[in-house]
Structure 1
Amino acid sequence: MQQKYTTGTAFLEALRDAGVSYLFVNLGSDHPALIESLAQVNQEQNKFPQVITCPHEMVALSAAHGYAQVTGRPQAVIVHVECGTQNLGGAIHNAAKGRVPVLVFAGASPYTQENELLGSRNEFIHWIQDVRDQRGIVRGYVKYDNEIRTGANVKQLVYRSLQIAQSNPKGPVYLMGPREVMEEETEPVTLNSDLWQPISPSALPSQGVRDIVSDLLKAENPLIVTSYLGRSNGAVEELTRLCNRLAIPVVESVPSYMNFPTDNPLHCGYQWTNAQNELLSEADVVLVIDSDVPWIPSGNKPSEESTVYYIDVDPLKTQMPLWYIPSKRFFAADSGVALQQLNEYLDFLDDADVPARGERRERIARVHERQRSQWTEEETGREHEITPAYLTACVRELLDDNTIVLSEGISNFDTICRHLRLTKPGTLLSSGGGSLGWHGGAAIGVKLAMPYKTIISLVGDGTYMFSVPSSVHWIARKYQTPFLTVIYNNGGWKSPKLSTLAVHPEGVAKRTDTFFTKFDPGSDLEKIAEAAGGAFAKSVEDPRQLKDVLREALAEVQNGHPAVVNVRLPHH
């Protein structure tokens, strides 16, 4: 029996030809055309992107997010009409703020109701799920949205969507298509997807290169601040080369990647709050590269006499209504390209024009060593309780060059960065956004992309629950994507408590210890993963048992079984 060639078939072909490997799907009544096409291809043993069934949309988009972070290649997420679109939840925020390319497709309620066309309304939900502006649900977060109206140009729409998603600043895109359109018979069209490549990375203007280098060479106390430069391994290498040459210290501000080797004497730690950073206050030239929030000016900022340069693929942050960092110059440029330009310009200068800066190098190295000494002291174990610093130091002992760490510790974010002491690009990932629960799906996506890597997620207890762990660990077992989750369980949401104390340090909430953030009674969170995905699940509270339990869990992961260790910390 000859099968029909529909808009749905053409849509799936376009994704395949554009390099999409996985479809992270949560299917519904709007997807019969896609299901039929996928079944047809499966029967004929042709190749379409592999379907990953995801019982929750947040997990689906987070998985696509993680895959794209480590490969640079966008994947597709398929959800059910406006309900599934809304159930993407904070994952669409994370993809937008983290500048991660992904294509989201949602069906739409049929637009006929008397069987005028194949796919016409035949279920009561087709009326209930018909809304006025389905695309508007995500319009504030996506770079592009459109509706598929015919199979005649569906491939062009897919290629254009992916071209936009992959062009800087990268981000999610959204397509929707009603049932009738996706069921429509159409003629096969062959297009060359190579003609829809993303925009090439942008560079600094030549005068900008000269100005930046000139000011860096004249500076007595230069400083570089970054947050997500580590999206590109090459950018990390170029930054290291520049800093080593000119003896420039680096401070990471709320990093979402490993941006600069922590064992380099020029690495001068992290900043998270509005406490004044001494290096920042003393800097006469500050080069900000790839950072949405390089400092919090209510209490931490450069001096008014300092010169600031700002380099980012999105230097105006037009999606942030309130944002400004007064700078001498703003440059829309790819960080890797820009740093390569700066290094190449320095290569052409005479050695006499590039002083060694030995005194500054030694001074910064002393700052670096003082920090590391303090961090080491924080890792000292306590007899009767496990501290976050000690836990992170124990996790550090599990790491090798084949490990990728996903960090979503929130109130322990700083602790995790300081005590992991990572030195290799690509070994640390965070969502880049502010919606919690990314880590579970992201770990699945990273493992699908790099099955030979060991994946470890470090998360808070609140964050773990946000991740929909029942869905996460069902998927992990079904698709053989084992990873280790370590829960920093402090018995509640510590971050809202800290936020309240920062605004009301002597308020009623503090005096009465009423923050509404405690998770009492406590839960055996690890058991969710055991029940849903057959995961190795253990809880540990005794510091003397911690290392053995972590090693046991890692061995399970390396033998193909997901594992969750619920580490009970002092109550927040």
Structure 2
Amino acid sequence: MTQKTLTNVTVAEAYLHLLADRGIEYFFANAGTDFAPLIEAFAKGEAQGQTLPKPVTAPHENIAVSMALGHALVTGKPQAVMVHVNVGTANALCGLLNAQRVRAPMLFNAGRTPIMEEGMRGARSGFVHWTQEMYDQAGMVREAVKWDYELRNGEQLELVVDRALSIAGSAPQGPVYLTLPREVLATTLESFTYTPGGGRQRAVTAAGANLTALAEAADILARANTPLIITSTLGRNPAAMAALSRFALDMAIPVVSYNPRTVDLPSTHPMNMGQDINAWLGQADAILVLDTMVPWLPREGSPRAGAKVIHIGEDPLYQNLPIRSFQCDLAISADTEIVLGELGRLMADGRSDADKVEHRRAGLAERRRDLEAVRLAAWRAAQSSGDLTPLHISRAIDAIKGDALVFKESGLRIDHMTFDEPGTYFFSGAAGGLGWSLGAALGAQVAAPDRLVISTVGDGSYMFGTPLAAHFVAAEQQLPVLFVVFNNRGWHAVRRSTRGMYKEGYAADASKQANEPLTDFGVEMNFEKVMDVVGGHGERVEHPDDLPKALDRALTVIRSERRQVLLNVMCTT
């Protein structure tokens, strides 16, 4: 096997060369004193024209980890992130939790306080090198990563990197955590020999399903009169989306994308019945749950008595959730794309009743027409209200987006939009860590520089996203992202939760107080002014008729000037 040897290099240099060889194109980073050997290695690489990952400066850790998340969502490939020791890890933890829950592959690095107090190159040289040391730095992220390790010796570098990347890429994918002590990075190696071409270890792919379990699932679905499919993140794999499209159409089974995080089924597909699970759950006599962590809310509804529920996915029981007790009569751990193809073949082979399928198809066509009528009525009501609503924003974005990559951390109404292509919609703050969308959109723009990328955020989420840091990166890297702020002047999710629990309470009675505690924003925020600082284009939009024109101007700036744009849209909830 061909090998490559580097001579007289630091471990930091060897690490960057190895990452480049393993397909890591970007190094998203928020630097600290532990980075000195890496910064020197990057500078040397640039001076000598070496091929290394491109370093991207992120002024806040949340942006760095969210950029890696966005890149992975678009490409499916892990990128490297590095932050400053324990404090940087703590700042990035929110984004790391999101990446773990959405199963995004990521090589998450952190420095480690120098081990030695003196006597080695890279040993402690500042006051903070004592105060930042922890007994177990990785302990704070251990529940959010698949693997963690501290690089202890440059001689083990190749095997550590290959193990990290193979575990991150193995199904179910996710982030891994590698800490890099400064003394180790600063160590000079007389020679470093590695095997080029992708590494000595390979990620584990999702397996095919057990044939007996598949036959049982096919029998359950074939016997059912009112089967239902529930999805949420199946669209991470475009081929799985295509398989679902064929299977649902052939078998005339309605699909509800409950709390969807990806495009799971084309919006225009005849079997796409929207996102309202409660309209379907109690009627189904067989339920196929595909790649869905939370298929319904038990307090709002449950499957009807006697219904059979099948869960399918890489880890259909989501074993890293402490409690998840949804009914499960059959669980199949397998690649969803493969399973749907096999189920289709089994059901077409004498199991399925053609007359029953066609009768169901006719009924579903009527349900689909009813759904469109409800949506049209909602739109007309919004138009007649005189307010600028999330429906106005959603439909206006839909009119201009084309094949854009759209990130949702807002009141975006995807039920009034058309997403027919896989990988064009992402709702990935799966752990509830706010502020991910700004950085994720930037990472997506890095991955797809010629695509329009749209980040939609609420005003609260926008402030969580360390916006000045995000807009700095957009300016510095020349990433012409369109940021749309749904500015409803408060925490709508918190407000909705409070009023859901206390429908007749004091918080719900606006006459009793001017502002709802801890939810209403009492300060007028002119977010569009931030664009003046970073050289972008910003506008405030207050009337429904002005929104399409503002979006047209935004596209002109993005396409002709390659500058970022922020629209501060003053809307209702």
Q: Residue 441 of structure 1 aligns with which residue?
A: 439
Aligned partners of 1:14 and 1:288: how far apart in 2?
Answer: 40
Q: Residue 421 of structure 1 aligns with which residue?
A: 418
Aligned partners of 1:527 and 1:4: how far apart in 2?
Answer: 50
Q: Residue 219 of structure 1 aligns with which residue?
A: 224
Q: Residue 3 of structure 2 aligns with which residue?
A: none
1:488-503 correspondence to structure 2 within 5 Å: 488-503=486-501
**Structure 1 unaligned spans of 5+:** none
Report if the CA contact (8 A) 2:219-2:351 is conserved: no
Deviations 1:448-507 (A, max 9, x none): 111111111121111111111111111111111111111111111011111111112122
How far off is 1:20 after superposition? 0.4
**Structure 2 unaligned spans of 5+:** 1-5
Q: Residue 94 of structure 1 aligns with which residue?
A: 98
| SS across alignment from 2:142 | coil
TM-score (norm 1): 0.94
Q: Residue 299 of structure 1 aligns with which residue?
A: 300
Q: Does 1:47 align with 2:51?
A: yes
Report if the CA contact (8 A) 1:142-1:172 is conserved: yes
Q: Does 1:519 align with 2:521?
A: yes
Deviations 1:391-427 (A, max 9, x none): 2111111021x31111111xx25xx211113222111
1:395-410 correspondence to structure 2 within 5 Å: 395-400=397-402, 402-409=403-410
Q: Does 1:199 align with 2:190?
A: no
Aligned partners of 2:522 and 2:405: how far apart in 1?
Answer: 32
Aligned partners of 2:556 and 2:80: how far apart in 1?
Answer: 32
Report if the CA contact (8 A) 2:217-2:330 is conserved: no
Deviations 1:350-389 (A, max 9, x none): 5985446222111111111111122122223247421111
Which amino acid letter does the alignment assign opposite residue 18 of structure 1?
A: R
Which amino acid letter does the alignment assign opposite residue 500 of structure 1?
A: T
| SS across alignment from 1:365 | helix
Size of the aligned set, in residue pairs, is 558
Match 1:13 to one of 8, 13, 17 = 17
Which amino acid letter does the alignment assign opposite residue 246 of structure 2?
A: R
Task: Please say which of residues 52-61 and 259-268 is displaced more in the overlay.
Answer: 259-268
Which amino acid letter does the alignment assign opposite residue 307 of structure 1?
A: K
Q: Residue 388 of structure 2 aligns with which residue?
A: 386
Q: Does 1:172 align with 2:170?
A: no
Match 1:254 to one of 246, 252, 259 = 259
Task: Please say which of residues 463-472 and 219-228 is displaced more in the overlay.
Answer: 463-472
Q: Does 1:319 align with 2:320?
A: yes
Report if the CA contact (8 A) 1:246-1:356 is conserved: no
Aligned partners of 1:269 and 1:388: how far apart in 2?
Answer: 17
Report if the CA contact (8 A) 1:382-1:543 is conserved: no
Report if the CA contact (8 A) 1:246-1:355 is conserved: no
Aligned partners of 2:29 and 2:488: how far apart in 1?
Answer: 34
Aligned partners of 1:127 and 1:465: how far apart in 2?
Answer: 33
How far off is 1:429 after superposition? 0.9
1:333-348 correspondence to structure 2 within 5 Å: 333-346=334-347
Aligned partners of 2:337 and 2:531: how far apart in 1?
Answer: 40
Report if the CA contact (8 A) 1:497-1:515 is conserved: no
Note closer, same or farther for the CA distance 1:208–1:432 as it changes in structure 2 (3 Å cut): farther
Aligned partners of 2:414 and 2:227: how far apart in 1?
Answer: 23
Aligned partners of 2:293 and 2:433: how far apart in 1?
Answer: 16
Aligned partners of 2:306 and 2:361: how far apart in 1?
Answer: 23
| Percent of residue pairs bearing the same amino acid type | 34
**RMSD of the alignment, in Å?**
1.7
Aligned partners of 2:384 and 2:31: how far apart in 1?
Answer: 50
How far off is 1:3 after superposition? 8.3
Which amino acid letter does the alignment assign opposite residue 149 of structure 2?
A: N
Q: Does 1:29 align with 2:27?
A: no
How far off is 1:515 after superposition? 3.4
| SS across alignment from 1:149 | coil
Report if the CA contact (8 A) 1:119-1:180 is conserved: yes
TM-score (norm 2): 0.94
Report if the CA contact (8 A) 2:93-2:141 is conserved: no
Deviations 1:152-182 (A, max 9, x none): 0112111101111111111110000211111
Q: Does 1:140 align with 2:140?
A: no
Q: Does 1:232 align with 2:237?
A: yes
Q: Residue 377 of structure 2 aligns with which residue?
A: 377
Aligned partners of 1:4 and 1:517: how far apart in 2?
Answer: 58
Aligned partners of 2:442 and 2:7: how far apart in 1?
Answer: 34
Aligned partners of 2:418 and 2:366: how far apart in 1?
Answer: 17
Report if the CA contact (8 A) 2:231-2:257 is conserved: yes
| SS across alignment from 1:269 | coil
